[in-house]
Amino acid sequence: MRRTFAVATCLFAMAILVLSGALASSGSNVRTSGSMSASPDRDSGSWRSTPVATTTSSYGSLGGLQSDICSTGEVIATVSIYGAGPPIGLQVRMDDGALLAPGPVAFSPAPSGSMASFTFIVSTSAFEANDHHFFQVEWSSLTGQRTWIRSATLNLIYQVGTHRC
């Protein structure tokens, strides 16, 4: 009974973290709502298992969590992290430009560490007859205090493009 209660409590806490991250997100170039659809037929994944820390409050690349894909239409990026310390900001950038919706999200891990997963989306199309797109996870310390990511994954689900793939 205690174990069931503990598991239920953990799942509830994860749901609250995901919702609070989504509600706390903002970005001047990100719409506040919208919808898309596609017929995904590919996925691409990357991960890092080496802990990394930052005190930087500006967003920077999270090494190892990037992917170069050939896509058209909707791309779904799921970022899962195991972090510790003060709040962490996360965002996914495409082609060194646009941020994926919903834009930056906040994750407040427990000091001893906790896990969370966030989903980002974007619609892609050919640029100069080329469907290649580069996706990069970026992160920051929202307080300027040392915060840690102990491990993380990036999974992209998409429909393969047709232009110079």
The mean pLDDT value of the chain amounts to 83
Share of the chain above pLDDT 90, in %: 63
CATH fit for domain 2-160, picks 3.40.190.10, 2.40.50.100, 1.20.58.480, 2.60.120.760: 2.60.120.760
Tell me whether residue 70 is exposed, middle or buried, using C-beta atoms within 10 angstroms of its C-beta: 0 to 12, 13 to 18, 19 or more. Answer: buried
Give the residue among 78, 77, 89, 91 at the shortest CA–CA distance from 124. Answer: 77
Q: What pTM did the predictor assign?
A: 0.76
* CA distance between the termini of the chain: 53
**For the segment 35-84, what is each residue's pLDDT rounded down to a tens digit?**
655 677 788 999 999 999 999 999 999 999 999 999 989 999 999 999 99
Sequence spans of domains, the chain: 2-160
Predicted local confidence at residue 10, as pLDDT: 41
Cα 80 from Cα 91, distance rounded (Å)? 12
